[in-house]
Each structure stands twice: as structure tokens, then as C-alpha cells.
């Protein structure tokens, strides 16, 4: 009996993970660094990492709206302009995109590989 409960829980967990994976792929464009560079100046560039990470180095022109504060700071993000998201590796960007999509944002883009793969100009806090 306990084995069936564990197997059922495992199946549900896997199903939920697959649902989130495919849902994220549907609502979020994962773009290469080159594509990101071509479009981010005309978009809202948002770094969803925490302030300490942001201060340690961020893409020039990015605004820091940490994932942990996103719901409270939605008024800072326009729905009529593309949103370019990045974090350290991509996981937080995907979660941020899910939140934004639920709130009516549609043109959502994420830097492939995150900030750790970025080779362009960065700014650090002095």
C-alpha cells in the first residue's frame, strides 16, 4: 500500500514538472546572446537576481527587480513593450515569466544560459 502511495506521488510530481516545463516553453522565448543583444535596448531589460548578485555585476542598462519582489513591483513593467529577463542560469527567469504571463504580459524573452554565459559589457557597483 505504501509503495502505491509513493509511486502515485512520484507520478504526480513528474507530471507537474513536465507541465511547467512545456508551459514555460510555450510562453517564454529563450534567445541566444546575439538575439538578446539585438533586441534588449528596445525592450525592458530586467535582472531577476537578488540585489547582492546584481551589484556584483549586471548587463549594462538592466533594472533589478528580484524574483522575490516581482509581484509587488509589477507596476514598474509595461505590458505593451517586450520584456527581456535574465538571472544567473535561467531558472528564476522562467519562474518570473510564469508570474508575468499570469498577470497578462505576453512578449517574454529570456537570455539563454543566463548571466553566467553573458560575454558583453557589464556594470558593477563601486
- Segments making up each domain of the chain, as ranges: 28-123
Q: Smallest Cα–Cα separation from 97: which of 19, 27, 17?
A: 27
Round to whole Å and give the CA distance between 37 and 33.
Answer: 6
Backbone angles phi, psi at 45, to 5 degrees: -95, 115
Neighbours of 87 (CB within 10 A): 24
pLDDT per residue as tens digits for the range 2-39 = 888 888 888 888 887 777 766 667 778 889 999 999 99
Strand-strand pairing, 122-123 and 58-59? antiparallel
Question: What whole-number percentage of the chain has pLDDT above 90?
Answer: 62
Q: Of residues 62, 83, 87, 100, which has the active-site annotation?
A: 87
What is the CATH number that goes with domain 28-123?
A: 3.40.250.10
pTM to 2 decimal places: 0.81
Would you call 87 a catalytic residue per the annotation? yes
Round to whole Å and give the CA distance between 1 and 125.
Answer: 57
Amino acid at each position: 500500500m505504501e509503495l502505491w502511495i509513493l509511486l502515485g506521488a512520484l507520478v504526480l510530481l513528474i507530471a507537474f514538472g513536465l507541465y511547467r516545463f512545456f508551459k514555460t516553453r510555450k510562453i517564454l522565448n529563450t534567445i541566444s546572446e546575439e538575439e538578446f543583444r539585438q533586441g534588449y535596448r528596445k525592450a525592458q531589460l530586467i535582472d531577476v537576481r537578488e540585489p547582492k548578485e546584481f551589484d556584483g555585476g549586471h548587463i549594462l542598462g538592466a533594472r533589478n527587480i528580484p524574483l522575490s519582489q516581482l509581484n509587488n513591483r509589477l507596476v514598474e513593467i509595461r505590458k505593451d513593450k517586450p520584456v527581456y529577463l535574465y538571472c544567473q542560469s535561467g531558472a528564476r527567469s522562467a519562474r518570473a515569466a510564469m508570474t508575468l504571463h499570469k498577470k497578462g504580459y505576453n512578449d517574454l524573452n529570456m537570455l539563454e544560459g543566463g548571466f553566467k554565459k553573458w560575454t558583453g559589457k557589464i556594470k558593477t557597483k563601486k
